[in-house]
Amino acid sequence: MKKKLLLICLFIVFQLNAQYQVKTLDFTQYFGDDTVQYNSDDLFSDLKYLPFSFTFYENVFDKLAIGSNGRVTFREWSSGGYSPWQIDETDVLPSLDGAFGIENTIYGLYHDMDNSQNTTGAVYTSVFGEAPFRKFIITYDDITHFSGNCNQSKTTFQIVLFEGMNFIDVHIKNKDLCTSWNEGRAVIGIQDDSGVNYTSPDGRNNFIEELEEESWRFIFYGGTYEAFLCGNSATSISLEDFENLTSVYQLNDTSFSVHTSLADANSNTNPVTFPMDIAFPLQELFVNVDGNVFNVMINSIDCTTSDNDGDGLSASDEDINGNGILSDDDSDNDGIPDFLDSDDDNDYILTNQELVFSDGFDSGIVMQLDTDNDGIPDHIDTDDDNDGILTMFEDTNGNRDYTDDDDDEDGIPNYIDNNALDVEVIDNTKGNIYPNPFNKNIFFNKNYHNAEVKIINIDGQIVLKGNLDNNTRSINTESLRSGVYQVLITSKRGTESYKVLKM
């Protein structure tokens, strides 16, 4: 039986970085073909095999155990066993005390939860994206807090492991606060097998707080990262170009140095100066971040002739924002840049099936279709006919052939027929939002009073939020990547929906 323990003292442990830094993110939420793993109280799951190898503090793992109290551990012998629930006032990372501290563990949102009697919530796992850019996602969905006084409190969050880059994201949709058990304490962080190296966000290494739409990324500065740009033997890049090439590492707010040799990077000597010339076709660079080093391989591509994914579009056609950098153009946010992605919008219709080749596929003469005339070509448009139903959901017979689904029998397949299910078309042509496509700011023509704006990517993730009133008529979107987004404006008038393209 659980017993509340007496809180007697407080001590402070200073954080060590050891290859990881933690950065705040815009809240996102992934959706996929989820599999229920278990509903339980104070239990670790059986070992779950990962779809890819994952490096955690320089050790490589292919399996893990999921704890009912919001922790995930690579310590194999924890599988199927007891999952501690205790958080005293003195319990902070790093720790290996057994009742609280467990080695090789991700404290996604560790607090005492009890899902054994919950009929609505569950723990799920899913895989998002395609190799070698997959994400393994662990979802704690609507999980009940422990104890009779707290069982109306719920938590929903996700832990996301990245293939290749070995990042860890924690996306917290909500965590209620009930102080009558464990004083409502929780911990977010990671620690290695020694109980010495750890990382925790400021203010999250044992805290008492209600949370809503909070996200963190634990960035692993190690290994090799591939980056791509349009270039030749005379290509030069600026510091801003380099930060865009490595945008996934969020270096723009980090102290770092770039070197041409591993020895220089390790000793933090002879850093390069920008602008710098890039060797063609491959430039190897080494980046030192607080003494931790990772490797960047910059691949230069002749974008005018290259069709790297064989979809009929040249690499230059798939440089959506036109900045010459291919790594930051990922329309469907699946981790695969468009120039390497055969389905740029992840709508299950291949890019080369959403184009017209006037003289055959190999002719190089291609027209980019825009069925709904919304300014977003079909191959990067998740709703090709603008009927409010994503293209991926218009395969009504489930055979993955979108051309044979014609629910209203008018000879037009559902995915390019905005009348197929009698859905009102969302009209983007009135200029309520401009410009579209856009680059930096979105402007609004209407006057709004206390309106909320949500910008949602094609996976249903809320990636930016803001408010509109008589004095605020625009939203800055510099933090967003190139791609297709849905803009929702909620006010007393109701909810308006617009589809936009960021270049």
Higher pLDDT, 52 or 316: 52
CATH of residue 457: 2.60.40.3080
**Residue 233: burial class (beta carbons within 10 Å; 0-12, 13-18, 19+):** exposed
Q: In whole angstroms, how far apart are CA 86 and each of 42, 66, 184?
A: 10, 17, 11
* CATH code assigned at 288: 2.60.40
Highest mean pLDDT of the ranges 11-15, 41-45, 50-54, 121-125: 50-54
Domain membership flag for residue 325:
no
Q: Dig out the tokens for 234 from the structure.
A: 């005379």
Residue 271 in contact with residue 258, Cβ under 8 Å?
Answer: yes
Report the run of H or E that residue 25 belongs to, with start and end: strand 20-25
Q: Which of 503, 440, 433 is nearest to 473 (CA)?
A: 433
Each residue's pLDDT tens digit, 400-446: 677 777 777 776 777 777 654 333 344 444 557 888 778 888 888 77
CA-wise closest residue to 71 among 79, 420, 53: 79
Q: Are residues 59 and 194 in the same domain?
A: yes
**Whether residues 200 and 246 fall in one domain:** no
> Which of 301, 326, 355 represents a domain boundary (last residue)?
301
pLDDT score recorded for residue 357 = 63
Q: Are residues 127 and 268 in the same domain?
A: no
Query: Of 267, 286, 301, which residue is a domain's last?
Result: 301
pTM, two decimal places? 0.71
Query: Is 102 inside a domain boundary?
Result: yes
Q: Is residue 4 within 8 Å of 132, Cβ to Cβ?
A: no
User: Are residues 228 and 215 part of one domain?
Assistant: no
| Most confident segment among 35-44, 160-169, 362-371 | 160-169
Confidence of residue 214 (pLDDT cuts 50, 70, 90): very high
97-107 core/surface letters (b: 16 or more CB in 10 A; e: else): eeebbbbbbbb
Beta bridge partners of 125: 35, 138
Mean pLDDT of 151-163: 93
The top-scoring range by mean pLDDT among 199-203, 384-388, 435-439 is 199-203
| Tens-digit pLDDT profile for residues 99-145 | 899 999 999 999 999 878 666 778 889 887 777 778 899 999 999 99
Range of the domain at 459: 433-502
Q: Pairing between strand 292-301 and 224-230?
A: parallel
| CA–CA separation, 81 and 67 (whole Å) | 9
Q: Is 395 domain-assigned? A: no
Nearest-10 Cα torsion for 459, 484, 174, 63: 40
DSSP state of 4: P
CA 19 – CA 349 distance, rounded (Å): 40
* 363 assigned to some structural domain: no
Same domain, 145 and 211: yes
> Whole-angstrom Cα distance, residue 287 to residue 296?
7
For 301, the 3-state DSSP assignment is strand
Total Cβ atoms within 10 A of residue 370: 15
Question: 488 and 465, same structural domain?
Answer: yes
Quote the percentage of the chain above a pLDDT of 70. Answer: 87
Centroid of chain to Cα 132: 15
Domain annotation covers residue 15: no
Q: Provide the domain count of the chain.
A: 3
Q: How far apart (Å, rounded) are the C-alpha atoms in residues 79 and 73? A: 9
Q: Are residues 123 and 258 in the same domain?
A: no
Residue 103's contacts (CB-CB under 8 Å, 6 or more residues apart) are 73, 75, 96, 191, 192, 193, 194, 195
CB 301 within 8 A of CB 280: no
Q: Mean pLDDT over residues 48-70, rounded?
A: 94
- The string of DSSP codes covering 428-474 is -TT-SEESSSBSSEEEE-S--SSEEEEEEETTS-EEEEEEE-SS--E
Same domain, yes or no, for 175 and 73? yes
236 & 215 share domain: no
The rounded distance, in Å, linking the Cα atoms of 120 and 101 is 30
Residue 64 lies in a domain: yes
pLDDT of residue 204: 97
Query: Over pLDDT 90: what percentage of the chain?
Result: 36
* pLDDT tens-digit readout, 1-32: 333 222 222 222 333 445 899 999 878 777 65
Determine, yes or no, domain membership for 337: no
Measured in degrees and rounded to the nearest 5, phi and psi for residue 463 equal -105, -10
Q: Is residue 212 a part of any domain in this protein?
A: yes
Q: Which residues contact 239 (CB under 8 A, 6 or more apart)?
A: 274, 275
Give the end of a domain, one of 220, 244, 275: 220
Domain identity same for 248 and 209: no
Same domain membership, residue 286 and residue 209: no
Copy the structure tokens of residue 26. 């815009």
Do 214 and 285 belong together in one domain? no
What is the distance between the alpha carbons of residues 7 and 26, in angstroms, rounded to a whole number?
A: 35
Overall average pLDDT of the 230-257 stretch: 88
Which pLDDT value is given to residue 295? 93
Instruction: Give yes or no for a cis peptide into 337 (omega within 30° of 0).
Output: no
Q: What is the pLDDT, as a whole number, of residue 400?
A: 63
